[in-house]
Amino acid sequence: LVMDLMDKLAYIFGQGLSNSFYPVPQRAIGVGSTFEGWSPHAEDIEYRVLVPLSPPPGHAFHLEPDTAGMLQRNFNVHVELLCTCTREQLGKDVLCFLHHPEEELRRQDPSLLHTLCTGSYLDVEKTVHWFNRFVRVAWLLLPQSRHWRLTLQPSSRSCKFQLSRDKETFTVEMIFGVRQGDSDIFVGSQPAEEGMPSTTWLETYAVAEAKFFRHISKQAPQDSWHCKCLQLLTCFLMGAGFSSYTLKTVVMHLLSTVPLTQWRRGHFRQRLMDILKYLHCSLQTKQLHHFVIGNERFPMEISLPSSFRVAEPPNLFQHLASSPDAHTKALQEYVRLLHR
């Protein structure tokens, strides 16, 4: 239902805004725990999708990093105008923004620089606000609107809405992303800490990680319980001091080292112990390597930027290495997790 809804939204967009100069949404990609098969939420299910954005005609996107050596790499999406005189000569009804007088350009829609940019950079909040308005109008044209009620929810960096019918309810969050080259790594509009500039896009590995889980599912036996291990321990983590991403990283590392034939139901207890031991060892050494960056074991069929596999992997536990109090608290949380 969710992916069908995304496809229909993309189709309506293509029909209604084909002559405009807004970013062009591509087919949505399911990401996160629900699409990876280990969502700990039995109720109030949230589906997260990443919607790749391509530049409109006469525009180009260039990714500019605005931090270096950080755990979470940030980027600005620089929007450049391109010459479209050749398109014009071919009979396409597009005036070149670079080589036509301003009074002539008033006959067509404004460039992306004058709608969703701040300066020459694509603005996350303006993009989200624009797409929210589009969804509100497009929803009335969709067949789903006859059976479901859509309620948009406040979010400045994603398009988030709730769908409800009778007693059934779920949430969809659309994250917008710009692809790095032809890889499965994007810079995305996902929520960030307070005070982050609206022109800042965060590097996201969600698509590559979702593809990793699909890769594992194809290789693993049909009765593999690797997702159940992750789902169960994530439920126990609720309220503890560890993020579900920490546990997911541990499980992904183990899936790359423990033979997939040893993740069946009969190995369930042992795999749970392996996950907890790996977490404990990582806490003691204050080091948990990022799974995608700097991982030579990462499947070759998943496309990464050329520098990723040979890069120094970021340490997800760097904050523990720099704060004795945080390290002590994390060890205490681990003991509480064991008691649970």
pLDDT in tens, 96-113: 888 777 777 777 878 899
Evaluate whether the domain defined by 220-339 bears CATH number 1.10.1410: yes
- Tokens coding 224: 């593999």
| Residue 340 confidence (pLDDT) above 50 | yes
Mean pLDDT of the chain: 90
Q: What pLDDT score does 87 carry?
A: 61
Q: What pLDDT score does 70 carry?
A: 54
Q: 183: closest CA among 28, 54, 305?
A: 305
In whole angstroms, what is the distance from residue 105 CA to residue 95 CA? Answer: 7
Q: What pLDDT score does 177 carry?
A: 98
Residue with the larger pLDDT of the pair 78 and 20: 78
**Which residue in this structure is represented by tokens 């960030």?**
192
Largest Cα separation within the chain, whole Å, is 73
In whole angstroms, what is the distance from residue 58 CA to residue 177 CA? Answer: 19
| Per-residue pLDDT band at 85 (split at 50, 70, 90) | confident
Residue with the larger pLDDT of the pair 241 and 201: 201
* Mean pLDDT, rounded, for 191-218: 93
* Mean pLDDT, rounded, for 59-78: 83
Q: In 10 A of CB 12, how many CB atoms?
A: 17
| Helix axis angle, 124-138 to 2-16, nearest 10° | 100
* Antiparallel, parallel or unpaired: β 149-153 and 159-165: antiparallel
Residue with the larger pLDDT of the pair 45 and 292: 292
What helix, strand, coil percent values describe the chain, rounded to 5? 40, 20, 40
* Antiparallel, parallel or unpaired: β 46-54 and 168-179: parallel
| Residue 329 confidence (pLDDT) above 90 | yes
- Any residues with CB less than 8 A from the CB of 311 and at least 6 apart, and which? 293, 294
Which of 138-147, 179-188, 239-248, 292-301 is least confident?
A: 239-248
In whole angstroms, what is the distance from residue 30 CA to residue 271 CA? Answer: 27
Q: What pLDDT score does 108 carry?
A: 80
- Any residues with CB less than 8 A from the CB of 294 and at least 6 apart, and which? 308, 309, 310, 311, 312, 313, 314
Q: What pLDDT score does 37 carry?
A: 92
| Residue 15 confidence (pLDDT) above 90 | no
* Mean pLDDT, rounded, for 212-225: 95
* Mean pLDDT, rounded, for 221-237: 91
Q: How many percent of the chain have pLDDT more than 90?
A: 71
* Mean pLDDT, rounded, for 9-18: 84
- Any residues with CB less than 8 A from the CB of 188 and at least 6 apart, and which? 50, 175, 176, 177, 201, 202, 203, 204, 206
Which of 82-86, 103-107, 154-158 is least confident?
A: 103-107
Q: In 10 A of CB 27, how many CB atoms?
A: 11
β-pair partners for 45 = none
* CATH code of the domain made up of 1-205: 3.30.460.90
Q: Is 180:204 a contact under the CB 8 Å cutoff?
A: no
Amino acid occupying residue 252: M
β-pair partners for 289 = 315
Q: What pLDDT score does 13 carry?
A: 87
| Per-residue pLDDT band at 69 (split at 50, 70, 90) | very low
In whole angstroms, what is the distance from residue 277 CA to residue 17 CA? Answer: 53
Q: What pLDDT score does 18 carry?
A: 73
Q: 77: closest CA among 121, 128, 115?
A: 121
Q: What pLDDT score does 67 carry?
A: 67
Amino acid occupying residue 126: K
Q: What pLDDT score does 92 carry?
A: 62
Q: Where are the domains of the chain?
A: 1-205, 220-339
β-pair partners for 63 = 77
Q: What pLDDT score does 29 carry?
A: 97
* Mean pLDDT, rounded, for 281-308: 95
